[in-house]
């Protein structure tokens, strides 16, 4: 029996997964993996934590769960896969079904035939087209070499000031890593907010927290890197401000690495990635692609997106590995673009559509923001803020964003599963999740959020977001704002937006202090607006017609406070 010849281009995430899956499907296939660099199966999402000193052995970024380094020897002995490192594929000859390569160390050229070809060339880091990018002290955090460089800077302790350019996932995680090294930090983001996949107010919670750790500049970009004797000494912003620094980490996103595919005549999409079908097959027969170099379908909108995430790369690679052996039997259904990052003790993430993306998609939706603990107070519960969206006509869950000091990952996993399963708000209000005080409230934060949104959809709860209230105030609209917290809470923290304090326990006896016109717009709130909701119910019972609860209370107020 003739042995199938499988070639995989790329050895980071999707490539090794595809090769390993192919081997499990066929013990006798000839599988060769080409990697331009010297390392294989790098846990690139772990780079910031290596830089930050969460662990010291770089080999942990390359190891199996049992501690074996995934090098060419490992791939041959454990999997029967030939892994050629420091070897660059220079051409794909699709007519003759072969690839041409060069050994980077020796300069030796060669070629190899294939029956099935897998392209997993990943993505490359964007670099701004400005002066000074060649100065020493400017780097990205895209490769193992970048991680080694930044770890050395951390360990040497010579850099005292650094600028992180870009407020996305990598920028946020890199900033934490460098902060742990005692470096004075500034983050610069060209757009009005950090983490642009979030809605503005959710990103603002992150920014407010980050400001306690570093200088944060938004709505401003980098105009020039300034050097002296070939070494970085400052960053000049577009508004002329100069920030002294010895290190600049550029984290302004990545773009699919498709040069090889493009040169071979493989179809590239409008977003710049390789076009693949549900089997991860490209426009050329017998050539597949997976990982950051591809465009994949968003399950909710049906449109192609770029989703450069390590978990998706592995899932796509698994599908490819099966299909190159068995034919097109496995499908990759797409992504809902779930993402999460850690910022010191703070977690932030999203699954599904943001409000911005839902509007772009033309979907009619209902939204709510909820603030409540992840566990009881006696178990050291921490506040979480969740913004939840559901389709107005069906109640189907569209997306969730979560931020806070509590267990953000659990919440996002719940909502991601509900979206993938096509669940509705009505499905979620009595979901049977595991409960015990060390892990959850009796009514989990996710279920409480579903309760609020169901109440809103059924007309039992009328809410207004902090952003909507601020817009009313900026327009000088007449709104009576009622804070129903205790006097001690008010003395400690208050918004300073013209609110009236009447603690909930006194509200029934002090209704005379409210506007006597029952059509007056009243907004109630407390710390997380649980008491605010009770106050609104009370006021409606006494004839007030236009009462809204400020969702998530003071905790969910992203703007400046008076105190």
Q: What span, in angstroms and rounded, lies between the C-alpha atoms of 151 and 330?
A: 40
Look at residue 38 in the predicted model and tell me its pLDDT: 94
> What share of the chain in percent tops pLDDT 70?
100
Domains along the chain?
5-122+255-326 (3.50.50.60), 138-252 (3.50.50.60), 346-457 (3.30.390.30), 463-556 (3.40.250.10)
Q: What span, in angstroms and rounded, lies between the C-alpha atoms of 499 and 477?
A: 14
Q: What span, in angstroms and rounded, lies between the C-alpha atoms of 290 and 530?
A: 47
Look at residue 461 in the predicted model and tell me its pLDDT: 94
Average pLDDT over residues 133-144: 95
pLDDT at 2 over 90: no
pLDDT at 349 over 80: yes
| pLDDT tens per residue across span 474-491 | 999 999 999 999 999 999
Q: What is the mean pLDDT of the chain?
A: 96
Look at residue 501 in the predicted model and tell me its pLDDT: 98
Average pLDDT over residues 555-559: 96
pLDDT at 333 over 90: yes
Look at residue 541 in the predicted model and tell me its pLDDT: 96
| CA-atom Rg of the chain in angstroms | 27
| pLDDT tens per residue across span 153-179 | 999 999 999 999 999 999 999 999 999
- Residues of 61-97 as b/e, b for ≥16 C-beta within 10 angstroms? bbbeeeeeebbbebbeeebebbbbbebbbeebebeeb
pLDDT at 1 over 80: no
User: Helix (H, G, I), strand (E, B), or coil: what is residue 458?
Assistant: coil
Decide: 217 and 190 in contact? Cβ < 8 Å. Answer: no
Q: What span, in angstroms and rounded, lies between the C-alpha atoms of 415 and 60?
A: 31
* Four-residue CA torsion sign, 502, 507, 510, 513: positive
| pLDDT tens per residue across span 204-259 | 999 999 999 999 999 999 999 999 999 999 999 999 999 999 999 999 999 999 99
Q: What does 203-227 look like in DSSP terms, one character per residue?
A: HHHHHHHHTTTSEEE-S--EEEEEE
Average pLDDT over residues 442-466: 96
- Residues of 431-452 as b/e, b for ≥16 C-beta within 10 angstroms? eeeeeeeeebbeebbbbbbbbb
| pLDDT tens per residue across span 282-312 | 999 999 999 999 999 999 999 999 999 999 9
Look at residue 184 in the predicted model and tell me its pLDDT: 95
| pLDDT tens per residue across span 71-109 | 999 999 999 999 999 999 999 999 999 999 999 999 999
Average pLDDT over residues 340-365: 96
Query: For 245, phi and psi rounded to 5 degrees?
Result: -165, 155
Look at residue 563 in the predicted model and tell me its pLDDT: 86
> What share of the chain in percent tops pLDDT 90?
99
């Amino acid at each position: 029996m003739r042995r199938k010849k499988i070639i995989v281009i790329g050895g980071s995430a999707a490539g090794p997964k595809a090769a390993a899956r192919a081997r499990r499907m066929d013990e006798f296939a000839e599988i060769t993996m080409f990697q331009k660099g010297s390392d294989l199966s790098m846990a690139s999402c772990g780079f910031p934590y290596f830089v930050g000193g969460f662990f010291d052995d770089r080999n942990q970024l390359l190891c199996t769960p049992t501690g074996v380094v995934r090098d060419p020897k490992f791939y041959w002995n454990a999997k029967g896969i030939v892994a050629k490192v420091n070897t660059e594929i220079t051409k794909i000859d699709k007519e003759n079904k072969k690839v041409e390569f060069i050994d980077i160390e020796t300069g030796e050229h060669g070629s190899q035939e294939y029956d099935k070809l897998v392209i997993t060339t990943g993505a490359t880091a964007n670099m701004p087209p400005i002066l000074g990018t060649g100065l020493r002290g400017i780097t990205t955090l895209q490769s193992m070499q970048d991680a080694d460089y930044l770890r050395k800077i951390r360990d040497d302790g010579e850099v005292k000031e650094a600028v992180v350019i870009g407020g996305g996932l990598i920028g946020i995680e890199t900033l934490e890593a460098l902060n742990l090294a005692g470096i004075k930090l500034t983050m610069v983001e060209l757009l009005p907010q950090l983490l642009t996949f979030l809605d503005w107010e959710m990103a603002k919670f992150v920014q407010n927290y980050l400001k306690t750790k570093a200088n944060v500049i938004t709505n401003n970009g980098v105009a020039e890197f300034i050097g002296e004797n070939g070494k970085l000494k400052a960053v000049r912003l577009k508004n002329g401000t100069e920030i002294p620094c010895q290190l600049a980490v550029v984290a302004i996103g990545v773009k699919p690495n498709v040069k090889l595919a493009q040169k071979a005549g493989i179809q590239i999409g409008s977003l710049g990635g390789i076009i693949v079908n549900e089997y991860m097959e490209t426009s050329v027969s017998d050539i597949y692609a997976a990982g950051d170099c591809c465009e994949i379908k968003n399950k909710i909108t049906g449109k192609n997106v770029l989703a450069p995430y390590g978990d998706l790369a592995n899932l796509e690679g698994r599908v490819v590995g099966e299909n190159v052996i068995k034919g097109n039997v496995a499908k990759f259904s797409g992504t809902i673009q779930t993402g999460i990052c850690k910022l010191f003790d703070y977690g932030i993430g999203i699954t599904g559509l943001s409000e911005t993306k839902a509007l772009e998609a033309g979907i009619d939706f209902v939204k709510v923001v909820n603030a409540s603990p992840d566990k009881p107070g006696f178990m050291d519960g921490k506040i979480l803020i969740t913004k939840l969206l559901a389709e107005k006509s069906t109640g189907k869950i569209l997306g969730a964003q979560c931020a806070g000091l509590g267990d953000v990952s659990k919440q996002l996993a719940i909502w991601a599963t509900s979206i993938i399963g096509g669940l509705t708000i009505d499905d979620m209000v009595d979901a049977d999740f595991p409960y015990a005080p060390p892990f959850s409230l009796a009514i989990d934060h996710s279920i409480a959020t579903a309760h609020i949104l169901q109440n809103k959809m059924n007309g039992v709860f009328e809410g207004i977001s902090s952003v909507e209230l601020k817009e009313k105030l900026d327009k000088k609209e007449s709104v009576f704002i009622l804070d129903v917290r205790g006097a001690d809470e008010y003395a400690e923290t208050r918004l300073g937006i013209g609110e009236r304090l009447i603690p909930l326990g006194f509200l029934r006896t002090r209704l005379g202090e409210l506007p006597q016109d029952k059509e007056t717009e009243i907004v109630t709130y407390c710390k997380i607006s649980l008491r605010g909701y009770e106050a609104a119910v009370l006021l409606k019972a006494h004839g007030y017609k236009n009462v809204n609860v400020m969702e998530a209370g003071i905790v969910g107020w992203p703007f400046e406070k008076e105190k």
